[in-house]
Amino acid sequence: MNKKIWLSSPHMGGTEQNYVKEAFDTNWVAPLGPNVNGFELDLETYLNNNVFVGALSSGTAAIHLGLILLGVKAGDEVICQSMTFSASANPIKYQGATPVFIDSEENTWNLCPKALEEAIVDRIAKGNKPKAIIAVHLYGMPFNAEAILAVASKYQIPVIEDSAEALGSTYKNQKCGTFGDLGILSFNGNKIITTSGGGALVAKTKEIKEKAVFFATQSRDHAPHYQHSEIGYNYRMSNIVAGIGRGQMEVLDEHVTLRRAMHDFYVNYFEGITGVIVFTEPNADYYSNHWLSAILVNPEQTGGKTSDDLRLALDAANIESRPLWKPMHLQPVFANDPYYGGTISESLFQNGLCLPSGSNLDDYDRNRIKWALDSFFKG
Ligand SMILES: *Cc1c(COP(=O)(O)O)cnc(C)c1O
């Protein structure tokens, strides 16, 4: 049996262990230290937009702290893109608040600006103005930042930019992660760079970053003893995993190039196949890191072959693929929360499939994928 081809697996650059070894050698085996500071500085330099980065234990923790920083409390409402990973929405519930889910637009698969505005107007009319908007750059594709930020500022609602999948993507040459009032990043094992597990909050001022770090380290007041005036969290990144992050920052641009090359591979391949669309930037304003390459399969044009048939065929060849994120408004756990929009995200979920996209795939892997696709579509 051939080895498994994964959707997206960790890809080390080579220098990560040097940073980790240094942490051991100097006994900085703690949730702060030179690697944490260095990793934050690397990210600030990379994002290059006068931002301040706080390294945290996960992207989910970053979203949770983002909501806390924006004062989201029990009974509040928070708008959230429906088509996303559940980690975008779960922290709303941690705060005892209610998510209000919004459909996608067709070209970016992200928050639809029209449905967003309809929802805001309706929630305000119902007497509960949303406290925040969580917008996601799905699979690395930037959301329509111009339109989304215009709606947000018209109604004076802060934006949490979920850039967990989009480090290295840009919209109008500005790096994703720097558009929202707060941005969040993830370094989970399957993301474009990884610290094995980790995340970050991107803030516009040093004060906000420091407040986030304060919450993330148990909200300790300035005192020789342990004194607390606010509820704290244990959400800081450790100096060990930050060392992995520093090594990964050295290969981030290379990973983006390689993921984009995987996307080109699929674009070329599917040019010859009727009924399959590869998810691609709508125009030159958008530059996706193509964290995951995704396709839409229209069974009416493929002789009845569905995206799920393809998933099973690839699986039989020991190649991992996965349906798109199932929209949150269709998830049992969020069944009672409000939803605005039509059926775009639902039909994307019906017909979509993510294909192997890792920066560590080689020509041998690509040939195996091509073989499996050929035998499914042409065999
Ligand atoms: C991965 C991911 C997160 C959560 O990040 P973790 O570091 O895994 O907690 C949040 N939002 C989206 C869209 C993600 O893909």
Is 90 exceeded by the pLDDT of residue 338? yes
Q: How far apart are CA 72 and CA 67, in angstroms?
A: 5
Query: Are both 218 and 313 inside the same structural domain?
Result: no
Distant-in-sequence contacts of 12-18, Cβ < 8 A, 24+ apart? 12/244, 12/247, 12/248, 13/247, 13/248, 13/250, 13/251, 13/254, 14/247, 15/246, 15/247, 15/250, 16/243, 16/244, 16/246, 16/247, 16/248, 17/247, 18/247
Both tokens of 355, joined, read: 């294909």
Is 90 exceeded by the pLDDT of residue 49? no
Going from the Cα of 183 to the center of ligand 1, the distance in angstroms, rounded, reads 12
Looking at residue 285, what is its pLDDT? 98
Going from the Cα of 165 to the center of ligand 1, the distance in angstroms, rounded, reads 7
Query: Are both 184 and 235 inside the same structural domain?
Result: yes
Looking at residue 312, what is its pLDDT? 98
Looking at residue 33, what is its pLDDT? 84
Torsion-angle region of 233 (φ positive above 0: left; ψ -120 to 50: alpha; else: beta): beta
Looking at residue 27, what is its pLDDT? 87
The CATH number given to whatever domain includes residue 92 is 3.40.640.10
- Using a cut of 0.95, tell me whether the model's pTM lies above it: yes
4 occurs within a structural domain: no
Going from the Cα of 274 to the center of ligand 1, the distance in angstroms, rounded, reads 33
348 occurs within a structural domain: yes
Looking at residue 313, what is its pLDDT? 98
Beta carbons within 8 Å of 186's beta carbon, 6+ residues apart = 58, 59, 60, 62, 87, 164, 165, 198, 199
10 occurs within a structural domain: no
Query: Are both 176 and 298 inside the same structural domain?
Result: no
| Residue ranges lining ligand 1, Cβ < 6 Å | 58-60, 84-85, 87-88, 136, 162, 164-165, 186, 188, 199
Query: Are both 209 and 351 inside the same structural domain?
Result: no
Looking at residue 324, what is its pLDDT? 98
Query: Are both 292 and 312 inside the same structural domain?
Result: yes
Going from the Cα of 60 to the center of ligand 1, the distance in angstroms, rounded, reads 6
Query: Are both 263 and 209 inside the same structural domain?
Result: no
Looking at residue 328, what is its pLDDT? 98
Query: Are both 92 and 55 inside the same structural domain?
Result: yes
Query: Are both 53 and 117 inside the same structural domain?
Result: yes
Q: Are 56 and 262 in contact (CB under 8 A)?
A: no
Going from the Cα of 55 to the center of ligand 1, the distance in angstroms, rounded, reads 14
How confident is the prediction for the chain on average, in pLDDT? 96
What residue's CA is closest to ligand 1, atom 11? Answer: 88
Atom of ligand 1 nearest to the CA of 138: 13
Dmax over Cα atoms in the chain, in whole Å?
72
8 occurs within a structural domain: no
11 occurs within a structural domain: no
Query: Are both 238 and 260 inside the same structural domain?
Result: no
Is 90 exceeded by the pLDDT of residue 363? yes
Taking only the tens place, the pLDDT of each residue in 246-301 is 999 999 999 999 999 999 999 999 999 999 999 999 999 999 999 999 999 999 99
Looking at residue 225, what is its pLDDT? 95
Q: Of 226, 251, 276, which residue is a domain's last?
A: 251
To test the pocket of ligand 1, the residue of 84, 88, 322 to mutate (highest count of ligand atoms within 8 Å of its CB) is 88
Taking only the tens place, the pLDDT of each residue in 1-20 is 689 999 999 999 989 999 99
Q: Are 218 and 228 in contact (CB under 8 A)?
A: yes
Confidence label for 28 from pLDDT (cuts 50, 70 and 90): confident
Q: Of 251, 274, 306, which residue is a domain's last?
A: 251
Going from the Cα of 273 to the center of ligand 1, the distance in angstroms, rounded, reads 33
**Residues of the domain holding 242:** 16-251
To test the pocket of ligand 1, the residue of 82, 162, 357 to mutate (highest count of ligand atoms within 8 Å of its CB) is 162
The CATH number given to whatever domain includes residue 321 is 3.90.1150.10
Going from the Cα of 227 to the center of ligand 1, the distance in angstroms, rounded, reads 32
Is 80 exceeded by the pLDDT of residue 127? yes
Going from the Cα of 198 to the center of ligand 1, the distance in angstroms, rounded, reads 9
Going from the Cα of 278 to the center of ligand 1, the distance in angstroms, rounded, reads 23
* Mean pLDDT on 165-185: 98
Pinpoint the alpha helices (H) of the chain.
16-25, 34-47, 59-69, 90-94, 113-125, 145-154, 206-216, 239-249, 252-270, 307-316, 344-351, 363-377
The string of DSSP codes covering 281-335 is -SSTTEE---SSEEEEE-TTTTTT--HHHHHHHHHHTTB--EEPPPPGGGSGGGT
3 occurs within a structural domain: no
Query: Are both 86 and 126 inside the same structural domain?
Result: yes
Looking at residue 30, what is its pLDDT? 73
To test the pocket of ligand 1, the residue of 81, 182, 187, 188 to mutate (highest count of ligand atoms within 8 Å of its CB) is 188
DSSP reduced 3-state for 218: coil
Is 90 exceeded by the pLDDT of residue 379? no
* Mean pLDDT on 184-194: 96
Query: Are both 225 and 373 inside the same structural domain?
Result: no
Atom of ligand 1 nearest to the CA of 199: 7
Looking at residue 96, what is its pLDDT? 98
262 occurs within a structural domain: yes
Is 90 exceeded by the pLDDT of residue 31? no
Q: Structurally, how many domains does the chain consist of?
A: 2
171 occurs within a structural domain: yes
Both tokens of 314, joined, read: 């690839």
Q: Of 235, 251, 267, which residue is a domain's last?
A: 251
Taking only the tens place, the pLDDT of each residue in 203-235 is 999 999 999 999 999 999 999 999 999 999 999
Query: Are both 246 and 259 inside the same structural domain?
Result: no
To test the pocket of ligand 1, the residue of 60, 192, 248 to mutate (highest count of ligand atoms within 8 Å of its CB) is 60
Which of 23-37, 114-128, 252-266, 324-338 is predicted least confidently? Answer: 23-37
CA distances from 327 to 109, 192, 193 (A): 11, 22, 25
